[in-house]
Each structure stands twice: as C-alpha cells, then as structure tokens.
Amino acid sequence: MKYWNNRISPIVVSLVGCSNSGKTTLLEKLIQSLKDKGYRVGTVKHHRGAFELDIPGKDTWRHAQAGADVVALATPGGLGIIRKLQQEPSLKDITDYMSGVDIVLVEGIKKGSQPKIEVVRSDISSAPVCSLEDLTAVVTDLPLTLDIPVFDLNKIEQVADFIEDRFLKQEMIPKPVERLTAEQLKRYHRNIKLPGVGQEGQIKLLNSSVLVVGAGGLGSPVSLYLAAAGIGRLGLADEDSVDLSNLQRQIVHATGDIGRSKVESARDKLTAINPDVQIEIYHQRITADNVDQILNSYDLVVDATDNLESRYLLNKACIEAKKPFIYGGVLSMVGQVMTILPGQGPCFRCIFREGPSEKAVKSTADVGILGAVAGTIGCLQSMEAIKCLLNRGNLLVGRILTMDGLSMSFQEVEICRDPECPDCGHLK
C-alpha cells in the first residue's frame, strides 16, 4: 500500500539485540513489507572493524590507494561512494547522505535518541538486554508481557504496521496552512487572481486532499494539474509499472521510467513540479478489502482507472463515505466526464446499472486511444475537482459530458437519480 512523503530527512529506526538474535532476518523482511506499502527504505549496518567494499587491483581501488578522499563507482543500475573519514561518523552524519528515502532501518547501533526495536529470540536470551525506557517495542518468539508493545517474531506485517502508524503516518500529517508565504503568493498568483479564489481559496486548496486512482492516461494530466494548482495532499494508487506503450499518452512518465512503478515515477515528477504538495502512493490495486481504508483520509476521489470493476467499486465506496467522486473514461477518440456528489445527483451505477460482458468490453489496446483525448478529459476532471473543493461554479452533477475528438464536439446529457439504484438509492 501506502504512503510516500516529501521529507527533508528520513525517519530512523534501530533494530537492536544480541548477536545472532535475528536482526538481519527481521530487517530483510521489514524492507520488503515497507516497500510493499510504498515507502522508500534505506539501511545502515554498523561494523566494529574495518571493511573493504572494493576489489584490490580494480580501477576504483587504485583511485583510493592513490589518495582520493572520495571515490564514486557509477553504473546504469546504481551508485556506490566510498569516503575516507578521520573519525567514526554519528548516525546523523550517515543519514545525511541518505536522501530520497522515507525511512532508514539501522542494524546494530544502540547509541542515540532514535527509536529502537529489540529482537529477543528464545535460544539467545530470555529478556531484552536494553532498558525498556530506551526501547520502543520488542519483537520476540517468547510470551513476554512488557510495558511496551511486544510483537511475534513470525508476524512481520504487524511490526511494519506499527512502524508505519507510530512514525511514518505521524510524519505525514501536514500542518494546516493559515497564510501564504511570499513564495506561495508568487507561485499561485494566477490562481489567486481568479474571481472567487483569492488567497482564501488558495489556502483552501493547500489544505485539501485528493486521491487519484490510476496513474496512466487520465491520471497523468489529473495529477499534474492538481499538483500545479497546489492541492496540499495527493494520493496516487496504481499497481502497474511503466511500459513503453504507455508513453504515447501517459505524460507524467518518461522513457527513463520504463520498468518503474507508475506511482513512483509520477511521485518524482509531481514533487519536481511542486514541492508544496505532499505525495502519498499506493502501489497496489484498489480492492474491496482496502478501498475504505485508503480513501478514508481524502476529501475527494478522482477515477482515472481503465476498467468497470474499479469504477463500480470506487462509486459505491465514495457513496458510503459521502466523498465527491469525479468519473472519467476514454476510448479511441471519445471521452466522458461526470461529477458524483452522493445524495445530490445520480451516481455511476445510476447510469450504467450493469456492465457489459467481458467479451463486449473494448480496451485501448483493442481500439487505440489518442493521447490528447485522455489529456482533455483528464484536464476536465482536474477542473471539476478544483471547483468542487472550492465550492465554485456549476459542477457536472446530473450531467454527463461526452467529447468526440473526431468531430470536435461536446454533448451534454442530463441524468436523473435512479431511486432503485443499488448503490445510492438508499440516500435521501
């Protein structure tokens, strides 16, 4: 799942314990679990003696032997830097080098004020070796009862959830914007000059949150324009990776992103466009099991998916949570957009009660899609989202807008609520 934050410095958590207690094994499993949640993870291993990362006789080894203070080894897949030090660095010195990660897991460093989780394994020790006052939690295979959280050594997901809830999520709660800085006044000047927006409206956008489900053809323009407009917190959900065939229309990604997670790629571009915006990513498919938890903390949801199953799921979840929902769909040279305000107009299910059979459903892979069509509909979705957050203008509630790119025509059809709708019929 989960969150991605534009942190200046990462959260640091130490895994401590006796030798051979299983710290490395726990760290390995935590890395994967936290990455599955969408976090960028760094690690630090403390070693008491000397070490050699380079191979004697290799060019970089010779550089170091010749007296270079810093030696960098760069490849298409990674970068390694060896720096000579006059004294042992502090943990802060080390993590200062670790930009671009959300959390650093440290193995073997007990000194410092960073949170510490001790591993206690029954064949090594029967109790924590650290004082409980110095520990945040204990992970063990023993039935220990302590005054701090205790987790089963075999239930790593619980440990990862604890770290996320205790440290990462807390860091991601943005402070409400009360007034614009000089830089923000300049950045958002064209927004502020709009009738009905002003500084008050811009502050409202900066304190708003939007979940964009899909980081492809529609999600690209939606997220780009919402980030540029200064939506304070953007969530991006998509399980896919960037493919060469995406680049014709998914403009938030570039050739160098091929193979990367779409949400990671999009996060980097959006952060570069506007560092004011806090980006949270969900590198997974939205399902019935996670949809409520994910959309719960957002003010508004934008549908940038490419399948009916996801749209029906989001439609129902947004109605139950009473969240505004901006629908968008594109295929070939045609696109549609509509805004759903639960209880105030029809929902997606009111219009499309039953989806067509799988055989009847065509995809962009079958019939194609012009990138500009996705761009146009995505821009309309972002405009609807901003208007909704600002409570300005006439929204496409009870109206579905269809664009035909070939004839360059727009058609608006009024839609009424279906009192028998299984999703929204119960709303007054």
Name which of 370, 362, 368, 365 is nearest 405 in CA terms: 370
Parse the chain into domains and list their residue ranges: 11-47+71-172, 208-414
Q: Is the pLDDT of residue 198 over 80?
A: yes
What is the band of 112 on the pLDDT scale with cuts at 50, 70, 90? confident
Model pTM?
A: 0.67
Name which of 108, 153, 158 is nearest 129 in CA terms: 108
- Side chain identity at residue 293, one-letter code: Q
What is the band of 48 on the pLDDT scale with cuts at 50, 70, 90? low
The mean pLDDT of the chain is 89
Tell me the pLDDT tens digit for each residue of 147-196. 899 999 999 999 999 999 888 876 555 678 899 999 999 999 999 999 99
Q: Is the pLDDT of residue 218 over 90?
A: yes
Q: Is the pLDDT of residue 6 over 50?
A: no
CATH topology of domain 11-47+71-172: Rossmann fold (3.40.50)
Residues 6+ apart with CB under 8 A from 149: 136, 137, 138, 162
Q: What is the pLDDT of residue 297?
A: 85
Q: Is the pLDDT of residue 87 over 90?
A: no
Out of 40-44, 51-55, 199-203, 293-297, pick the least confident. Answer: 51-55
Rounded to a whole number of angstroms, the distance between the first and last alpha carbons of the chain is 34
| Average pLDDT for 356-363 | 69
**Would you call 142 helix, strand, or coil by DSSP?**
coil
CA atoms within 13 A on the CB side of 257: 23
| Average pLDDT for 220-231 | 98
328, with CB counted inside 10 A (0-12, 13-18, 19+), is buried
| Average pLDDT for 294-310 | 92
User: What is the C-alpha to C-alpha distance for residues 9 and 349, in angstroms, rounded to an integer?
Assistant: 45
Residue position matching structure tokens 């009862």: 145
* 334-340 and 325-331 strand pairing: antiparallel
Q: Is the pLDDT of residue 270 over 50?
A: yes
User: What is the C-alpha to C-alpha distance for residues 198 and 182, in angstroms, rounded to an integer?
Assistant: 14
Q: What is the pLDDT of residue 4?
A: 41
Which string of DSSP letters, residue by residue, matches 294-316?
Answer: HHTT-SEEEE--SSHHHHHHHHH
385 close to 226: Cβ distance less than 8 angstroms: yes
What is the band of 37 on the pLDDT scale with cuts at 50, 70, 90? confident
* 325-331 and 300-303 strand pairing: parallel
The arrangement of secondary structure in 208-414, i.e. its CATH architecture, is: 3-Layer(aba) Sandwich (3.40)
235 close to 324: Cβ distance less than 8 angstroms: no
Q: What is the pLDDT of residue 373?
A: 97
Q: What is the pLDDT of residue 171?
A: 57
353 close to 339: Cβ distance less than 8 angstroms: no
Domains 11-47+71-172 and 208-414 share a fold: yes
